[in-house]
Amino acid sequence: MAAPRGLPDLSIVRDIGIAAHIDAGKTTLTERILYYTGASHKIGEVHDGEAHMDWMEEERAHGITITSAVTQCPWRDHLIQVVDTPGHVDFTIEVERAMRVLDGAVVVLDGVRGVEPQTETVWRQASRFRIPTMFFVNKMDRPGADFDHVLDTLRGRLHVEPAAVSLPVPEGVVDVVAGTLLRFGGSQGEEVTEEPLPEPYQDRWRAAREALSLLLADHDDAIAEVVLEERPVGADDLRRALRQATLERKVFPTFGGSALRNVGVQPLLDGVLRYLPSPVERPPVQARTPEGVEVTVSMDPTGPLCALAFKVQLWEGRRHVFARLYRGRLAPGDRVWIPGRDVEERVARVFDVDADHKKRIDDAVAGQIVLLAGLRYAGTGDTLCAPDTPLLLERIVARDPVLGLSVEPESTRVEEKMLDVLAKVQEEDPTLRLVEDADTGQRILRGMGELHLQIVQERIRREFGLDLRFGRPYVVSRETIQSTARAGGEVDHTIEADNKRIELKARAVASVGPLERGEGIRFEASPRVVPEGTLSAAQAQAVRDGAQDAVVGGPVDGAPLQDVSVAIEEVELYGTASSAQAIRIAVAQAARNALAAAGGVVLGPVMRIEVVVPEEALGTVLGDLQARRAAILESSTEHGMASVRAECPLQGLLGYATDLRSLTRGRGQFTSEFDRFDVPPG
């Protein structure tokens, strides 16, 4: 039975996300979870386009998860709130903002491939927010699946300690802690029977249980004492120690099975209850007051409201906001304060969510993830709080887009509608940006990749009935400088303003230098003043503003600058003529001159890619990658398939999916992830 909707006991709640590399079986697993918990009356299959959680038409057409979907399900007198996240790297913002508000995660792995590129991305996101995590090794029915190999890839590529809790075998799974065999019968695997462990599996079980005991002994003194005395560790003691080590992210319970064949899902659900935390077991979140004072926010239903808006979604044409409550209660009609925007809004309605279905509720309390209607201004990452207790939670940071398309309306009659629609989709997705090209005047829609922008085009056409003209993809660039340089700049002229002649005169000296990739822009604005003296507050601000004006665009193509240090070394004043405006102009000119002297260089997006192809096609594929200016990092072969990891300029990957299929007769696949802006390899 599910926990009552008022959630008086947060200890019986689990807020979890399910994440994976694309095609690892994440949505298939979620469908089984919904079915076995009674939240869904049938199992929807991804390959049939009937998955309950993939409710968007584009998701069903492409067979992938595009947007995070939220649902709830009861299991053994607990309530599990589940967020199913996308596996494709183009939609990684969906995983990022889901991880920001969850208490635990289940990462799904392919039993043949093990850790894949997006697995590593998901892992970094979960680690950033210190989320206790379990692994589910899926597709163990496939030829070449190897549970022990997957554990090795977890240790080698994620540098974690997986703890095998259920071992997949042909008849079902072996419960390592209890030492029993679990079989899954019935038409859909819903009947779970527990049997004594057959003799052929005894040795493997003993080895796994000993490994689990030794692993936990490193983190639990009581277990260590029993192990040193060479006594068997009891099942309850193992589960207690495993839970504590999981909550501390020292050990990661790992389960095996096959979601498509209905094997191993119920033990995973039991593991969610046993090893992942309830909302009250997570550390308090950190917040700060508008004055910058750090405070902690505990998961307390009785305190003043503190919630995080983590996603905006258009639902039936109306604006809705997903929010996670960290403290207090929220009911329809309540007013909330949004400190980052300094506005107060009223919540019109509060909903529970089940994929694309919503159900109105009377109130929500700390620990819940709910959908809110009526908020016009709240956006992704905003804090919602009680008007008399303003707080700011850590925001959600979206990556910058790396690929652009020119976009224009079919006719000028629909231009206003186009801008309105594009504003709405940008509200939903912080990784989309609409900018105007300063040289051509074209509007450019930027996104995370070809698939990302393709899905946006399809959604605009379907949801808004709007046909737009899109150009060919082009790659976003950045600039930096090659060396250090020092230069001066000055202003000396008179302007007419309000029938007065105003003299502007100032001189400045600036120096610039390159920084390591990813360091951003660093300013130093403490110049020597000539003649000797000090700058007024307005003049000091003008120095900082002038330096920032100079780095808006680089010296080559005017692209945004990065990885540059700018120091304003000297400012020369000429009495009343050296107003704040004059100083700002002189400083900006000095910094621009120094940047030009340092020599600009254009940086392009460099992607980390992994290509998996039949072994016999490896030579051809390697030659093709090198022609695309890729830098090969490593390659390996296993079970007749070759895996290549490389870095490649994004420009060289446009249309690569089609070319790779042609080179490998449809058997090759690749994944890419933005790594950095840099001088392209090769």
309-365 pLDDT tens trace: 998 888 777 889 999 999 999 999 999 999 988 899 999 999 988 777 888 999 999
pLDDT tens digits for 211-269? 999 999 999 999 999 999 889 899 999 999 999 999 999 999 999 999 999 999 999 99
Name the most confidently modeled range: 30-34, 132-136, 336-340. 132-136
Both structure tokens of 506: 């100032």
| Amino acid 61: pLDDT | 65
Specify the pLDDT at position 399.
Answer: 79
Q: Is the pLDDT of residue 632 over 50?
A: yes
- Residue 497, pLDDT score: 61
3-state secondary structure of 669: strand
Q: Report the percent of the chain where pLDDT is more than 90.
A: 52
Cis peptide before 74 (omega within 30 of 0): no
Torsion of CA 636, 639, 640, 645, to 10 degrees: -30
Return d(Cα 280, Cα 325) in angstroms, integer.
12
Structure tokens at 168: 């997949």
> Band of the pLDDT at 4, cuts 50, 70, 90?
very low
pLDDT tens by residue, 78-96: 999 988 887 666 677 888 8
In this prediction, residue 318 carries a pLDDT of: 84
Residue that the structure tokens 């990957």 belong to = 653
Q: What is the pLDDT of residue 6?
A: 44
- Tell me which of 13-22, 65-74, 484-493, 515-524 is least confident: 65-74
- The stretch 539-543 carries a mean pLDDT of 92
- Amino acid, single-letter form, for residue 270: D
Percent of the chain with pLDDT strictly greater than 70 = 93
> What's the rounded Cα separation, in Å, for the pair 132 and 281?
11
Question: Can you tell me the mean pLDDT for 396-400?
Answer: 80
* More confident call, 639 vs 345: 345
The tokens for 570 are 């000297």
pLDDT value at 47 more than 70: no
Is residue 254 a contact partner of residue 135, using CB atoms and an 8 Å limit? yes
User: What pLDDT score was predicted for residue 63?
Assistant: 62
pLDDT of residue 475: 86
pLDDT of 396 above 90: no
**Token pair of 154 as six digits:** 């977890």
Tens digits of residue pLDDT in 161-217: 999 999 999 999 999 999 999 999 998 999 999 999 999 999 999 999 999 999 999
For residues 342 and 331, what is the distance between their CA atoms, to the nearest angstrom?
21
Q: Annotate 400-418 with b (16+ C-beta within 10 A) or e (fewer).
A: ebbbbbbbebeeeeeeeeb
Catalogue the E-assigned strands of 448-484.
468-470, 474-475, 478-481
Identify the bridge partners of residue 296 per DSSP, sorted by sequence position: 286
Per-residue pLDDT tens for 547-560?
999 998 889 888 88
Tell me: pLDDT of 398 over 90. no
CA distance 327 to 366: 5
H or E element that contains 486: strand 485-497
Exposure string over 237-249, b if 16+ CB within 10 A, otherwise e: bbbbbbbebbbee
Whether the predicted pLDDT of 449 surpasses 90:
no
Reported confidence tier of residue 499, pLDDT bands at 50, 70, 90: low
Kindly state the helix (H) or strand (E) to which residue 203 belongs, with its residue range. Answer: helix 202-217
Strands of the 166-169 sheet, one edge to the other: 166-169, 172-175, 180-185, 191-196
Q: How far is CA 570 from CA 134, 507, 538, 567, in A?
A: 57, 8, 16, 9
**Would you state the structure tokens that stand for residue 535, as one six-digit string?**
């700058």
pLDDT of residue 623 exceeding 60, the answer is: yes
Whether the per-residue pLDDT at 51 is higher than 70: the answer is no
Average pLDDT, the chain: 88
Residue range 35-39: average pLDDT?
A: 89
**DSSP E strands, 32-117:** 69-75, 78-84, 104-110
pLDDT exceeds 50 at position 3: no
The whole-model pTM stands at 0.79
Q: Is 353 exposed, middle or buried (0-12, 13-18, 19+ CB in 10 A)?
A: buried
Question: At 117, phi and psi to the nearest 5?
Answer: -55, -45
- pLDDT of 459 strictly over 90: no
